[in-house]
Chains A and B, each alone.
Chain A
Amino acid sequence: MMNKLLSPAKTEVLFMGNEAIARGALEAGVSVVSGYPGTPSSEVIERLSEVAHERNLYVEWSTNEKVALEVAAAASFSGLRSMCVMKQNGVNVASDFLLHLSSSGTRGGIVLVECEDPGALSSVNEGESRYFARMLEIPLLEPANFQEAKDLTKWAFELSEKIRNVVMLRSVTRMSHASGNVICGKLPQKFRTARFISDGPVMDPLRGPVVSTPVVIKHGLQQKKLETAVALFEQSPFNEYYGPKRPELLIVTSSACFLYSREAVEILSLQKRVGILKLSCTWPLPVKLLKKYLRLTDKVMIVEEVLPFLEENVKVAAMDMIRDTGIKTFYGKMDKTFPSAGELNPEIVMKALGRMMKVRPRSPHAGYLREVQKVASKIAPRAQTFCPGCPHRASFWNINTALKLDGREGIVCGDIGCYAMASLWPEIGFHTVRTLHSMGSGTGLASGFAKLSAFGLDKPVMAVCGDSTFYHAVIPALINAQHNKADITFIVLDNAGTAMTGFQPHPGINESAIGEPLPSVDIEAICKAIGARVAVSDPFDLEETNRILTSFMAERGSMKVLILRQACALSPEKKGKKQYRMKVDEELCLGDQCGCNRLCTRIFRCPALTWDRKKKKAVIDDVICAGCGVCHFICPQKAIIKTEAAGK
């Protein structure tokens, strides 16, 4: 079985957008790849880690995005090509270094790949990072199909080397996690060697020290580099026009929105009336190219996600060329033709386009639509929930029980991971978590809440975080809490990997991105070194965990740490293996007659613990039960029987 990423030149393969980006980097001869996992970006590094040996790559899951960018930059300074990959809000984390990096300049080609999530399909924000390219004055590229995701990535390295600065490549969920046909190019035969030279004069870009000083002179130089990039953008085949010579309306678009726009035009049969200018080089805008197409018509529609970034830039450019191109009417986010929140799709574009061009898409007859309405009213919603066997369900059961017994309405601050669901939907995780922000911020918030007792807020304060989050951004907040004597109970939900994004290793795992042994950095030892009192428990052991939590809450005046250790039910070592075989004893279960008011199915909420509607009793769905055994402890009748699973 050959790895698809190594397919020979000229073969046509189905690549996910992220795989196409990975292949583009290989074709560019990338040597060092780093990043921090985050949907929808993680597959770029995952796929590259699988071919690290064959392609002589160093692949690293770094502690966080800022460190990842620093690791990649060191390779660039040494003449290698490098790539750093992250999700949209990762750029915020990396941005302080990025500001200085863009100012010092780079040597070997370096590309910052950031994958955004319009509509927040798997994020707790729909942050925009395109503005960073404008603010930090670096070029921005946005592939609009799968072939381009590969080709543009490869070209990004060449551009970076030409202007000696970092280049940002932006993808979105509907590109990164979509797939399409890609024709592969050549993989280079030679690998580069690293050399770091820094004994030349300060203004020598290849031999001097790599610094952002003298600031004003280097800043001016950085802006010249951007002008060089624009000159290349003006000629770039990646920006294309599709449509008639004199369209009634010009659509200016980028990224996945190009595919939505083209489909909308085709479905409404507007190919002869509407032109599409697809820009893949989006910052700085190639203004001469833009002028050529703005001249074609007076009406301009800008289709993009999420904020009006392209729209703003096109309007500013149009203002400067108004004598040549004439007055335009713009349709986009600012006049509310499109929403500025949430993702777009072909229908949204089709509706806007239809209204403007006075055409209507065909729709099924009324009788069919009536039947559809009837069916729609009968479908129960399917909300997300913790998986069967998820340690988080047990952890939150423990935390919630301890808080209830305590009775002071303690506050729990949440963090980023699957366990964040305990704050997003009240019915998941027993309505336990009350704040949710960025990586590590739960602990900082808890540190702050704990200091409000002088102002009358005297409640127990807790923070939860996952193991990967702990390393990423929690440690400074933890030191802050300890140093400032914040009275908090800090709980690590250690499920042995970066579970939500697909079990990427982190510093607590004794293995690298490519599976080589590494020393693990122990969470317990770090917390102890900070000076906190630390306990470790198995969340599936309800009794012991509850005992620790209760004693921690009673202890005032300092930070306490509880590490709840149990691997994710989907982790490779656990998946498909049951520790226990679970069964409901129909004699013991009193069903609706029991005073528990269906505690197991109504409150505990495990997808595998269901309700037999005919017998009116609880029943285990053996196909999806993970065999964690926790439900055995919650039934007051002890009707849920657990036996050691044999064999598996």
Chain B
Amino acid sequence: MSSLMHQGRASYAFFERNWNLTKRYWGWEVVFLVYNIVNAISVTLIGAAAPKLPGTKDLKIDTAPLILFLLIGTAVWSYLSVTFDGVTEIITIERWEGTIEHTFMAPISRFTHLIGSCWYAVAHGMLFTFIQLFVMAAFFHLDLSNANYLTAVFILLLGSISFIGFGIAASALPLLFTERGSQMSYIIRAVLLLVSGVYYPISVLPGWMQPLARVSPATYVLQGLRAGLLDNRAIWSPEIWSNTWPLIITGLVSVPLGFYIFRIAERYAKRTGKLKRNG
């Protein structure tokens, strides 16, 4: 019981620390939020411009569903980026600040350390995404009154488990490669963007890419979110369930696998002296 209390307290320490950092760097938070929103508007405007694009001259295109399709894609991409960054930067930030050794010699489990940092990333990502969604809805005069927000939150939270697993695995990269590890983790995000159907249905992907789409949790988060927000599907509906169970499986696999990879990387770093600030 005492140990559980300790791990809970330590987990909260990471949440509180990250919240304090967010408050001190609030200017950057505003810049990042504006950047995300501007990016999302730019992408979604492609939907609004569809009837005027080359090759669509004689086609009758209803832009509203296209705009919503892209809007949800940008929202999920924003959520995935903020959450994934929050998780992968667990090591990068501490290495930058020089606190990494202090954290690694604290008497807490690595699970507590990583989960403590992750749940702030999830809350942070969720807040960003909903602000972005409302700004976008206002910009494009969209009616989201028919959307099922409960389903949206449920799918995002469930998908977050898998994103955390992927993020923890990626956060091992800065442990292994002290100078460029952080940038190397971008490749994982880029692949998720490519294969998950963020801005297009996965059916347009070449055949050999389709299996990758099937193992990407972002694919199911997007499908579930679109069903919830566009078609008002409830959590217990068959459409949502068909995306829920793959997310449960990817979560069950990716989180333990992420921890396992991180533990191997940590041991390697402790053997080679790479925990030290300057590598």
The answer to whether A and B assemble together is: no
